[in-house]
Each structure stands twice: as structure tokens, then as C-alpha cells.
Amino acid sequence: MQTQKERYLWLLSRKLSGGITEEEKQELEALAKADPQLRKEAEAMQVFWGRSSGENEEDTRSAFEHLKARMHATDPQMWPEEAPGTAGRGWRVYLLRAAAAVFFLAAAGYIIKASGLLPGNDGGLRADYNVRGTRSHIKLADGTTVWLNSDSELKYPMRFKGATREVYLRGEAFFDVARDASKPFIVHTETMHVNVLGTSFNIKAYPEDSASEATLITGEVMVELKSNPEKKIRLRPAEKLVVPNKTDSLPEASAGAAPVIMKPTYFLKADSAIIETAWVDNRLIFQDESFGRLASRMERWYNVTIRFENASIQHLRFTGIFGKEQLEQALRALQLTEHFNYRITDDTVTIY
């Protein structure tokens, strides 16, 4: 009897080969929603499959021959050698069978190591990426704990070497850094370097957003801006640094494109919830936020694309909290305070 993981990978192989039925496709999506980790693991094989079709087939075939040899050595009965004369597209069929195997990760890991065709092999760094709608928890080798938000990627070494502990972030993450005075912890983003010894803080650094943010909860951090390395900005607890990603002005800052230090946003005076870090507790909190800005957060939260037919609707403002609400429940809740309509087609929401 197939395990859930084996079933998922078998369905994925059907999808990659183009032979999946609509019923099987729905089952695949349901399994992915039930266990996001399966989807994360399977993305590696999908990337490999997509890239292999556009690259030199001989090079890809050669890399896969190494994989076949390893699979055969592991279990000759499940992975028999091909009979003579089965050339042509046989290696691709073999790949589909490998995708459906219980030791999928070993196969994907071997391709990463042997051919470098898959992500995650960047100068000895491991890359963890969360697709939209998923969040994860990572424990680094030094004891540092990281909560990684949706549509975010963290690159980090399996073991820290040298005089510093350095990681690379695209997206949003909350860090609870293990204290080690001899080895500063540095988070690199596209706009800034955040240097700490032992503290907890949140960094939001989506390149497509108008600004990046560093919100300090405990301890102390020093921020160096890539645009102005000479200037060091020190943050203390309950302070937030807002740094423009582009040259356009920030709605939060009257000083145009200059970095701004401000206070984190508490949801209500009687509520201790901090909006900037509420996502760690699986809560999407917004306060007097424009629909346009809220929509971009909802896109990552629910793994959808939101489009506005009427640009003026983007200026509607909302305050509230989403926790376990499904997408339609959230949209109906917003309709209780402002008038708008919506329609959902597949993974696209149209607001009008």
C-alpha cells in the first residue's frame, strides 16, 4: 500500500509526464495543502524537469546516467538496468519513475551534487524556500531559531565557520539569535546588513515591496545600509527601521527616500500583539491599511493573485485580524466594512 508521500510523488510524476487526469490533479493539490513539506521537496524535481527540457540533452542525460547507476545499486529489483535498444526517451521515463520513488530526496540530492542543476547548492549554502501560503521553522547549527514567512528564502551554511555567522534573506523572517559574543550574527538582504550578537528581531525584505523593515524585539542590532556603508544605524528594543527599496517615497516617511526609525505597530492599545511579528503566531494583522497593500500581503498568505478592476478600490482602508479564516471567509469579512465585489477563478481573485 502506498504511503501519502509515495502517492504524492507518483501523482507528481503523472503531472510531469502530461498524463495526469483532472481528478488526479485535484488529489495532488489536496495532498500538497495537507503537507506543505511534500510540496517543498517536490519543487526540486519540478525545477530539474523544467530546466532539463531547455538545456543540452546530452549533458542532462549524462547526469541522469549517474543517478540511474546509484538507484540500481540501491535496489536492483525496483530499478533494473534498461534492456539493450531502449534508447531515445527512455531516460526521461526513468526519471518519472524516480520521481515516484520513496527515496525521492536522495535522488534529488544526488542530482544537486552531481550536476548543479537544482537550487540549494550556492557556495556551500543550504537554501530553504517557502512558496506562498506556507511558513516554516528552521533551527540553525548554532542554536539560532528562524521562522521563515511565505514567499521567502533563507540561505545559510550547515555549519558556521570563521569569525562570523552569516545568512542571506529574501523575504521575511523572525530570528531568535543564539548569543555568541565571539561570532557576530549577520543577516544580509538586498538593501542592508543586520549585525547582532544575541537578540530577537524581524526582517521584512521583499525586493518587490517599496521598503524593507527591521523590527527589534529584544537586544540590540546594528544596521549597515548597502547604499551608504559609512552610516551605521543602531536599533534598540521596540524600534523599527524602514529602508526604501527604490527611489520612490515611502508612505510612512515624510523624509522621502531616507531611512526612518519608528515604533512597531501595536494592534490596539489594550492588545500586546505587534503587527510586524504577528505572522509568527499565524495571524495576519492589519490596522488602517490600504486595500492595495493588504492585497499584497494576502497574496502571500493565501497563495493567490489579487487584481483590481477599479484602481480606486485599492484606497479602501481596513483594520482586522485573520487567523484560521479561509480566503473567501476573509474576503466576506472585509465586505462587512467596505463595499466591493469579488470573483475567484482558480488561484486569481478579481476585485471590482
Domain shared by 16 and 83, yes or no: yes
Domain shared by 167 and 293, yes or no: no
In a domain, 183, yes or no: yes
The predicted pLDDT at position 274 comes to: 81
Domain shared by 110 and 189, yes or no: no
Domain shared by 53 and 150, yes or no: no
In a domain, 272, yes or no: no
Average pLDDT over residues 192-212: 89
Domain shared by 206 and 146, yes or no: yes
Domain shared by 146 and 176, yes or no: yes
The predicted pLDDT at position 111 comes to: 44
Domain with 129 in it: 125-262
pTM as predicted = 0.62
Average pLDDT over residues 164-189: 93
pLDDT tens for 251-275 read 443 334 577 776 666 555 545 568 8
Identify the CATH number of the domain in which residue 154 sits.
Answer: 2.60.120.1440
The predicted pLDDT at position 43 comes to: 61
Measured CA to CA, the distance from residue 138 to residue 125 in angstroms comes to 14
Which of 49, 81, 115 is the endpoint of a domain? 115
Strand partners, 205: 171
Contact 272, 315 (CB under 8 A): no
Measured CA to CA, the distance from residue 138 to residue 129 in angstroms comes to 11
Which of 66, 85, 115 is the endpoint of a domain? 115
Domain shared by 167 and 110, yes or no: no
- Grade residue 248 by pLDDT with cuts at 50, 70 and 90: very low
Helix (H, G, I), strand (E, B) or coil at 138: strand
Which of 73, 94, 115 is the endpoint of a domain? 115
The predicted pLDDT at position 134 comes to: 87
In a domain, 65, yes or no: yes
Structural domains of the chain, count: 3
Domain shared by 249 and 324, yes or no: no
Higher pLDDT, residue 283 or 119 = 283
Measured CA to CA, the distance from residue 30 to residue 204 in angstroms comes to 30
Neighbours of 276 (CB within 10 A): 22
Percent residues over pLDDT 70 in the chain: 64
In a domain, 132, yes or no: yes
Domain shared by 143 and 183, yes or no: yes
In a domain, 77, yes or no: yes
Identify the CATH number of the domain in which residue 303 sits.
Answer: 3.55.50.30
The predicted pLDDT at position 105 comes to: 46
* Res 298 pLDDT > 80: yes
Average pLDDT over residues 46-70: 52
In a domain, 249, yes or no: yes
* Res 179 pLDDT > 70: yes
Domain shared by 138 and 250, yes or no: yes
The predicted pLDDT at position 42 comes to: 64
* Res 113 pLDDT > 60: no
In a domain, 63, yes or no: yes
Measured CA to CA, the distance from residue 331 to residue 302 in angstroms comes to 11
Domain shared by 110 and 130, yes or no: no
In a domain, 220, yes or no: yes
CA separation, residue 318 to residues 302, 313, 335 (Å): 18, 12, 10
Task: Classify residue 345 as exposed, middle or buried by CB count within 10 Å of its CB (0-12, 13-18, 19+).
Answer: exposed
pLDDT tens for 23-36 read 888 888 888 777 66
